[in-house]
Each structure stands twice: as C-alpha cells, then as structure tokens.
Structure 1
Amino acid sequence: MAHTHSGGTDVEATLEPVRFGLVGYGFGGRWFHAPLLGAAPECAFLGVVTTSSERRALVAGDHPGVATFASLEELKAAGAEAVAISTPAHTHSELTDRALELGLGVVCDKPFAMDAAAARRSVELAERSGLPLSPYQNRRWDSDFLTLRALVADGVLGDLVRFESRFERLAPGDGPGAAGGGTLRDFGAHLVDQALVLLGPVASVYAEWRLRDNGLDDDVFVALTHRSGARSHLWGSWSQGAPGPRFRATGTSAAYVNRTLMDIQEDLLLAGHTPATLGGEWGTEPAERWGKVYRGDSGETVPTLDGAWSTFYPAFARAVRGLGPVPVEPRAAVATAEVLDAARRSATEGVVVTLG
C-alpha cells in the first residue's frame, strides 16, 4: 500500500511533521520502528536514545544525520514531541511513564506492560496528562488479518464461531532472550489483541505452556471464550519445527485458511525496503501466499489485501497534532494485559480463569 496522507485534506497536506524519537536500537527498534519512522512524511525522525556505543555506530550507519541521545531528558531537550519505545519488556512501563511525565506522546512496543496493573497506571497517566499514548499493535495492519476482517465484515464466513491463530517459528538455540518477557507476553500480546479486535471481550481463559531451561515460557497455547460465545485458540512458539497455518477462522457458512507463516512486511523491512522505497508495492503479498475460503473440500483463493504497517505512525502523528484518534486505543493494551495475566495464572495453576 502506498504511503499517503489518509483523508488527503488541505489541513493534513500542511501537517508539520511531528519530531519523533526512538528509545532502544535492538532488533525491534532497528528493523521495525526506525525504518517506518524514517519513511513517514508526517514524522521527523529526530534521534535514538541508546547508551551503547555499538548501537550508536549502527544508528550512524543506518540513518546518517540522525542524532543519538543518552536519555529521554536529552531527547526532549532537543525538541522531541513524541517517542517510540522499543527496549526490553521489563523497562516498558517505567520508560512510558517517564516519557509521559516529560510531556511526550508515546508509542510503546509489545508487551505494553508486564501486567494489567502497570498498563492501567500508564493509561491513566496519559489520560490525566492529555497526551497521546498507543500500544504498537502493528499486527492489526497485517495483510492476512486485514483480509480476514474484510471477509467477516462482508458476511462471507457467516457468524465467526472459532478463530485459530499462530505465531510459530523455529529459532536456533534456546529461543528468544529475556528481552521479550517470554513467548506469552511477546507473541501473545499480538495474538490476544487480534482476537479481541475480531471477537470482542473475553469471558474466560485457559492456557498451557512449556518452561524452557532459561526459565522463559514457550510453546504457549491459549483458549479464549469470548462473551459472544465464540472461541479463540491461539498458539505461540519459538521452537516449532512445523509451524501450523497462520489463520483458520471458522464461521457458520465458510472458513478462511491462510497457511503463510507471517505477513510479508517483516521480510520487506529485514531486506532493507521501506514504504518510501517501495511505494505502491509496499505490503503486497504474492499470489502464492494468498489464503482460501473453504466450504467443505473446495477452497476458493481470495486475494490478500496489502499490509499497511505504513499507516501507524502517520495516524499517531495526526493524533499528536489533534487531527484524529491514536491508531490503537490505550485501553486496548489494558484489556490485552488482563487476558495475558489470566493466561499466566491458568498455565501456572492449571485452572480456567474467569474475567469479570
């Protein structure tokens, strides 16, 4: 999808770019946030907060002319208006709150917080401060998820009764490090958010996991019963040699299956492409990656919509300027964290947890 000013109004055409900083330049900051910030005309990519000399050198090589700073305070003093936080999971809440206290709008990567109480504190701080705050749920703009939402909205599947969703990979060694806070918090944040977007609030949660030698959870399975009666079955793993279908969504009249492992936008960013370099080709899935709608044995191929991660930062910039809502409501982060808290309790105690 081409990068455009959504709405295309004269006001937005003259939108002064929002001066944006990035905290952290690990894998997520370097490959997911910096390229999208740099590609968005609505954002002026001001600099990166990192104290690592190695990562400062990476920033200089990747983004000549982009400054580095030792602290949020330095970034703010340089004129930043908003910040994206992409640091180890356990630091997210502290950095989010400090940025808000400095008067900065905040985008925080997943997991937004380590538990629902911390998520709620940050959201209430943003509300009191009148500052824009958004969890970085870019996966709402995955090509396959946008396609599934369109099929549901158009009534192609009938009433959705079961949603099966997987983030499964095979990672060498002992899987991901502690930065993600475990597979349930890391992959689970996206899996649960998508389920809530699709099927609404949750009534009960059941979960299983395997603890790795490093003490982190992996091979996670979460079953949600939504208040509507529909069910979501969610899998997350860094140690799955045979990843299952990304989606199987079953409705009363048809089912949608997409066997592609992950949306193409991640691969594009890792290959050095951005929405600015690809233009209209950004987020376009080749036909062999398209999913199918099934009614029994016969499957009908459905073209996958273009992925649109490129719309997140422009939307947040408009929110900073008072021209629209944040791309993801901060209260959504609290709802997701409540489900993840319940899933941790379920996996630990072997019980089904009811949500109020």
Structure 2
Amino acid sequence: MPNTLRVGLVGYGFAGKTFHAPLLGTTPGLTLAAIASSKPDVVLADWPEATVYPTPEALIAAPDIDLIVIATPNDTHAPLAQAALAAGKHVVVDKPFTLTVAEAEALQAQAAQVGRVLSVFHNRRWDADFLGLQQLLASGRLGRVTELTSRFDRYRPEVRQRWREAAVVGAGIWYDLGPHLIDQALTLFGLPDAISADLALRRDGAQAVDDALAVLHYPDKRVVLGASCLVSGGVPRYLVHGTLGSFEKYGLDVQEDQMKAGGMPGMDDWGHDPRPGRLHGWSNDQAVVEDLHMPAGDYPQYYAGVRDAINGIGPNPVTPEQAIAVMRMIEAGTLASKTGQRVALK
C-alpha cells in the first residue's frame, strides 16, 4: 500500500481555509501536515495538529513534505510553484494556474524535468450540475448541441478592499471565475476556433474587471460564458440547446456553501443539489418537460486523483497542458476585449 503523503498548504485565506484544507484533511492517503500562514492562531484553531510555518519559503524547504499546495494571491503562483518544484516537491496550484501562458509553460517544463506531478485546482469539474450536464450530453438526449450558455454570477455591488478587486495584474472576475467557466467549456468541447469578449468595469469605483462576457466560436456551435458582480438572481447557471431539445439549470453547486458553514466531505448530503435541471423535449408534436436530478458533487475526487497520480496508479486529474489551454483562453479573451475583434486560437 502506498505511504501516506504529507501535504503542506501555502496560504490560509479564503481558498486555503474554505476549499483546500477541508479536502486535504479528509482525503484518505493524504495528511495535512503543515500550513504556511502569518496567522498561526487562526490556523491552529482549525488544525491543531498541523505545523505552522511563518513563510512559504520555510514550508517549501521542510524535508518531510511531499506535496505543496499553493493557495495564495494569483501573482505569487508561478514563483512559489517554481520554488516548490526546485525543492523536489509535487505541486498543486489554485486557479488561475499563472498570470501568463509563458509562466505556465515554464512550470510545465520544470515539472517534467524534475519528474514531479504538477496539477491545477480546477475543482468546478466536480460540481453537481456540471457532472449532470456531462451525463446528459453523453446520453444523446439533446442531440447535437448547437449552443451552450454558462454563467457564474454574484451580487456584490460594493467594491471591497482586497487584492482580487484591486488594479493589479491577475485581479478581477475574468481571472477569478473565468477559469472555471473556460475549463468546463474546454472539458466539454475542446479548444474553440476563436474567442470574442467584452470585459468591463461596471460597478461604481471598480478597479478591476467585474463583468465578463465571452463567446467561444466552434464550427458547429456557440458557447457563451458570462460572469458578473451585479446579478442578483433569475439567470440560469446553464442553458443548453440541441437538435432534440433544451436543458436549463438554476442555482450553484452547494459544496462551497457547505464548507463555508463548517461542513466537511463525507457528511450526510455532501454535494447534494436540491434543484433539479429541466429537460425540454418533444413527443408526438407535444412539448415534454422532465426534471433531471443531478448526481452528487464530488470535490474530494480531485485530491484523490492527485494522490493516485503521485503514487503512479492514476492519471493527473488536471494536467499542466489542460491548465495552459485555459491560460491561452484568458489571454486571448483579454486581447479580444481590448481590440474589439475575434481572436483565433487554432
């Protein structure tokens, strides 16, 4: 049986505390052994058995750590991942992978050179509604898909004083929610021929993009991706049209809210989506509507996959190549918005 992997988590802000720590702490074969944070009291209140390091560098240098998880501001992802790989560690980087394609490609090459697993935390592949959508498309009940609209919205009309909303590279909703939307689209349909986009600052006092709309152009379909800080409800998460029918799904996956409330993977109703999707079809010239219940969301599957990849018994759940494709889309969408023109990707 493979040895238990000792994990060091760099960063204990929102992403580290809400997502990574609970998943790492409950995945068999992984031990959350250490956390780098400037707030040791906060860390130890949640994880009293963990060793707290004052800096990322000190944690990366620890000889007893097998896997480093980077959950820090976006502009630190590349240098911290580079340092962790240089120290001989396996590495998970929170999304977005890096700030640029060039940084991402350099990390990919370094990981290959040192023979370490490098993965990116695109956890929304394991949302309940996305898993349900994949099942529906695989069933053929929609026929050939002609259009998909995927939106990930929030209602945050007040600009907050934090790096994610500041006028810095890597901030804004295109780098925050955009990677989720793009990764799901690429998982379903692969790289499009081109992208057009409108990235804007809509809120009073906004310093970073808070409204993003992108269109991915495929030969046989259109994929529309949207994210905004000024949507308070009433918009489907997914709206899909095909030659045999349409599908709509409201509401977001519940796993984030469960962890925010202190829940842990493995609890009763973990990942259970209370809102079914709705399939619209036709039979005997009559409209037919059917509720489709989603499978359970499964974020723990990501870290189980990372564990197996490190132990050489399974594939990397999100490869550097896949994450680089997302970064190419981020860069191309930014260029398309600046120029007002469609940007080719193939």
User: Which range, TM-score by smaller chain?
Assistant: over 0.9
Please tell me whether the aligned partners of residues 90 and 116 of structure 2 are also in contact (alpha carbons under 8 angstroms). Answer: yes
Percent identity, aligned pairs only? 35
Please tell me whether the aligned partners of residues 184 and 220 of structure 1 are also in contact (alpha carbons under 8 angstroms). Answer: yes
Deviations 1:138-179 (A, max 9, x none): 000000000000111111111122111011001251158333
SS in 2 for 1:234: strand
Structure 1 alignment gaps of length 5 or more = 1-13
Q: TM-score, normalised by structure 2?
A: 0.92
- Cα separation, 2, equivalents of 1:283 and 1:293: 21
More moved, 140-149 vs 230-239: 230-239
2:276 aligned residue (290, 297, 303): 290
Equivalent residue runs for 1:91-106 within 5 Å: 91-106=76-91
2:245 aligned residue (254, 257, 276): 254
- Cα separation, 2, equivalents of 1:26 and 1:355: 35
The aligned amino acid for 2:273 is E
The residue aligned with 2:49 is 65
More moved, 237-246 vs 35-44: 237-246
SS in 2 for 1:207: strand
The aligned amino acid for 2:277 is G
1:21 is aligned to 2:15: no
Deviations 1:106-139 (A, max 9, x none): 1111111112111111111111211101110000
1:217 is aligned to 2:209: yes
Deviations 1:199-238 (A, max 9, x none): 1111111000212534201110000013x43221000112
| Structure with higher helix content | 1
Residue 283 (structure 1) shift: 1.0
Runs (4 or more) in structure 1 with deviation over 3 Å come to none
Deviations 1:60-83 (A, max 9, x none): 101111111133443242511111
Residue 24 (structure 1) shift: 0.6
The residue aligned with 2:128 is 143
2:222 aligned residue (220, 223, 231): 231
1:187 is aligned to 2:177: yes
Please tell me whether the aligned partners of residues 23 and 49 of structure 1 are also in contact (alpha carbons under 8 angstroms). Answer: yes
- Cα separation, 2, equivalents of 1:254 and 1:172: 36
Please tell me whether the aligned partners of residues 77 and 97 of structure 2 are also in contact (alpha carbons under 8 angstroms). Answer: yes
1:129 is aligned to 2:148: no
- Cα separation, 2, equivalents of 1:111 and 1:20: 21
SS in 2 for 1:148: helix
The aligned amino acid for 1:149 is Q
Relative to structure 1, the CA distance from residue 195 to residue 176 in structure 2 (aligned partners, 3 Å threshold; closer, same or farther) is farther
Residue 325 (structure 1) shift: 1.2
Q: TM-score, normalised by structure 1?
A: 0.90
- Cα separation, 1, equivalents of 2:56 and 2:309: 21
Deviations 1:56-107 (A, max 9, x none): 2111101111111133443242511111111111111111111111111111
Structure 2 alignment gaps of length 5 or more = 165-169
Residue 38 (structure 1) shift: 0.5
The aligned amino acid for 2:242 is G
The residue aligned with 2:326 is 336
The aligned amino acid for 1:282 is W
Q: Compute the RMSD of aligned alpha carbons.
A: 1.6
- Cα separation, 1, equivalents of 2:177 and 2:340: 21
The aligned amino acid for 1:16 is N
Residue 243 (structure 1) shift: 5.2
Residue 242 (structure 1) shift: 3.2
Please tell me whether the aligned partners of residues 36 and 275 of structure 1 are also in contact (alpha carbons under 8 angstroms). Answer: yes
Equivalent residue runs for 1:28-47 within 5 Å: 28-47=15-34
Please tell me whether the aligned partners of residues 169 and 243 of structure 1 are also in contact (alpha carbons under 8 angstroms). Answer: no
The residue aligned with 2:167 is none
Please tell me whether the aligned partners of residues 175 and 238 of structure 1 are also in contact (alpha carbons under 8 angstroms). Answer: no
The residue aligned with 1:299 is 289
Equivalent residue runs for 1:317-332 within 5 Å: 317-332=307-322
The aligned amino acid for 1:113 is T
The aligned amino acid for 1:135 is V
SS in 2 for 1:77: coil
Residue 30 (structure 1) shift: 0.5
Higher relative contact order (CA 8 A, sep 6+): 1
The aligned amino acid for 1:63 is W
